[in-house]
Amino acid sequence: MAEPRDLTLYRAGEEMRRGNLTAVALVESCLERIRAREETVRAWANLYADEALQTARRRDREAARHHWHGPLHGLPVGMKDIYDVRGQSTEAGTEAYPPRIADRDADSVARLREAGAIILGKTVTTAFAMGDAGKTRNPWNPAHTPGGSSSGSGAAVADRMCLAALGTQTNGSVIRPAAFNGLVGFKPGLGEISTAGVIPLSWQLDHVGCLVRSVEDAHLLWHLLRDRRMLDWQATRDKMPPALLPRAPQRVWRLRESFEDEADPEMRAMFDAFCQRLVERGVTIIERKLPASFAGMHEAHHAIMSSEAATVHRAAFEADPTPFPPKISGLIREGLELKATDYVAALRHRLRLIAQMKSALADVDAAVSPAAVGPAPEGLQSTGSPMFSTLASICGLPAVAVPAGLSGGGLPLGVQLMGDNGGEDGLLSVAGWCESLLVFQAAPDER
C-alpha cells in the first residue's frame, strides 16, 4: 500500500474497515508530512496533533470492538479557520477580532465528527475569507499562490497533509483553490449545507464546500453534510452513502464569451482538448450565448457582497478599522457607502440571472468551462482571479472543479462543471465520468 496519507478519503475508509490500516498510522503519516513540509507550504493556522492522535487511538480501540462511528471513522480532515471547532480558537486569518474559543462545533464540523472524522487542525484562510492573502504557498511551486480564500485547505489536501478539508465559497474560494492545487473542489447549491457556526461574509452568497482528491470523496462528503440527508449515519460499518455511479453526459453547454476570452492560452488549449474528447465520446456540445443578465453580474455580486460584509463587521469596523487588512477593509467601506436602492437593484439582478440560468440549464446535463483563468499566478500578494466562479456563486448553483492536466510550468489546470439547483447528485455523476476521462494522477511529490 502507498503511504497512508496518499489514499483518498473513500479508499482509506475501505482499508480501515478491511483491517489493513489503523487511524493512528494514518494520522501519524499526515503529521510526518506536515513536519516535513509545513515550513514551506504553511497551510495550517492551528494544528491539533496531540488531540488528533488521542482520538485516533480511541477510534482504533472502537474498531477493534467492531464499533464504527460511520463512513469517516478515523480519517483526518482539516477545517478552514472560519469554522467553529468546539474548544478551539476561531481566528479567521486576522487580528481584527480577538481569538474566540468556540463552545460548540459548526453544524458541518459536528456532522463530520458524527461520521467518525478526526479534526486534524484549522487551515489558513485569507482574512474573513476575502482577498487579503495569507501565509500559505502553493505546494506545486511555493513561489505561486494556492488561491483563496480556502488557501490552507487546498494546499493541505494537495500536499497530502490531510485527506480532505472544508472550505467556503462566496465568489471563487473552493473552485479556484481546487484548480490551482490539482484537486477536486465541490460546492453544492446555496443553502444545501448549513453554514451555522461559520463566520459569514455574505448570507446571499456563502456556500460550504470541500476540497478533496477525487469526485468519489466529494460525493461521500456531500451525502454526509447535506441538510436533507437520506440515511441514518449512526455507528455501524454498513451504513455507507449510495455509491457514486459515474455517468456520461449526453448534452453539455460549453460556456464561451468571457470564459474563453479571459482565459490564458494554455487554459484555452486544455479546455479545447477536453471538449474535443467529450465529442469523441459521443457527447453533444451545445453552443448558446450567456444569459442577458450575465452583463452586470460581477457588479451585482460585488454590491451584494460588500453590503452584507459591511453589515457583518460594521460595529467592530466603526469602533476601530485599523486591524482590518486592506481588501476586507475596502470592501466594508464600499458596503457602508452603498445605497439601499443599489443593494436592492443588485438582488433583483441576481434573481433575473438565476431564472435565466435555470432555463438555460434545463436541457443539458451540465455547463462546462475552465475552472480558472489559468494556472496559479506567480506571487503571494494576490490569490488570483475568481471571475470564472462568480456565475455559480451568485446563482447558488452546484459546481465541481476537476483537475485536467499540468501547464508547461508544471502547475495544475482544471475544468469546472455547473448544474441546476437541486441537481448535485447528477452533477457529481457527470463529474466522476469526466474525472475518469481526464485521468489526472500527478501530485506535488512527483515534481
> Which DSSP symbol is given to 438?
H
pLDDT value at position 234?
47
Omega before residue 149 within 30° of 0, cis: yes
Sheet holding 366-370, edge to edge: 44-47, 118-123, 76-80, 164-169, 207-212, 184-187, 399-406, 412-418, 366-370, 251-254, 284-286
Helix (H) or strand (E) holding 415: strand 412-418
In the numeric block, the cell 457582497 is attached to 305
Number of structural domains (the chain) is 2
Asked if 187 and 297 sit in the same domain, the reply is: no
Q: Please indicate, yes or no, if residue 132 is contained in any of the structural domains.
A: yes
Mark whether 170 and 21 lie in a shared domain: yes
**pLDDT (0 to 100) of residue 222:** 97
Query: 200 with 323, same domain?
Result: no
d(CA 134, CA 242): 38
User: Are 86 and 124 in a shared domain?
Assistant: yes
Look at residue 121 in the predicted model and tell me its pLDDT.
98
* Residue 196 structural domain: 4-249+366-446
Low-confidence ranges of the chain (pLDDT < 70): 1, 229-239, 446-447
CA dihedral 346, 309, 43, 438 (to 10 degrees): -10
pLDDT of residue 2: 77
Q: Is residue 269 part of a domain?
A: no
On whether both 119 and 205 belong to a single domain, the answer is: yes
- What's the rounded Cα separation, in Å, for the pair 296 and 105? 38
In this structure, are 153 and 85 located in the same domain?
Answer: yes
Other beta carbons within 10 angstroms of residue 106's beta carbon come to 24
Q: What local confidence, expressed as pLDDT, does residue 245 receive?
A: 95
- Name the average pLDDT for the chain: 95
Both 428 and 376 in a single domain?
yes
pLDDT at 336: 98
Residues annotated as part of the active site: 80, 149, 173
pLDDT attached to residue 241: 81
How many Å separate Cα 420 from the centre of its chain? 18
- CATH code (residue 84): 3.90.1300.10
Pairing of strands 207-212, 284-286: unpaired
211 and 94 share a domain?
Answer: yes
CB 115 within 8 A of CB 56: no
Domain end marker among 304, 331, 358: 358
**Apex CA 203: angle with CA 196 and CA 138, to 5°?**
80
Of 341, 358, 375, the one marking the end of a domain is 358
For residues 242 and 219, membership in a common domain is answered with yes
Please state, in angstroms and as integers, the Cα–Cα distance from residue 398 to each residue in 35, 111, 191, 395, following that order: 35, 20, 11, 9
Those residues whose C-beta lies under 8 Å from the C-beta of residue 208, and which sit 6 or more positions away, are: 108, 166, 168, 187, 188, 193, 194, 195, 198, 225
376 and 301 fall within a common domain: no
Is 125 exposed, middle or buried (CB count within 10 Å of its CB: 0-12, 13-18, 19+)? buried
pLDDT recorded at residue 106: 98
Q: What is the pLDDT of residue 231?
A: 54
pTM for this entry: 0.97
Is residue 62, in this structure, part of any structural domain at all? yes
Residue 232: per-residue pLDDT: 52
Catalogue the E-assigned strands of 170-244. 184-187, 207-212
Are 100 and 203 part of one and the same domain? yes
Q: Is residue 401 part of a domain?
A: yes
| Together in a domain, 149 and 85 | yes
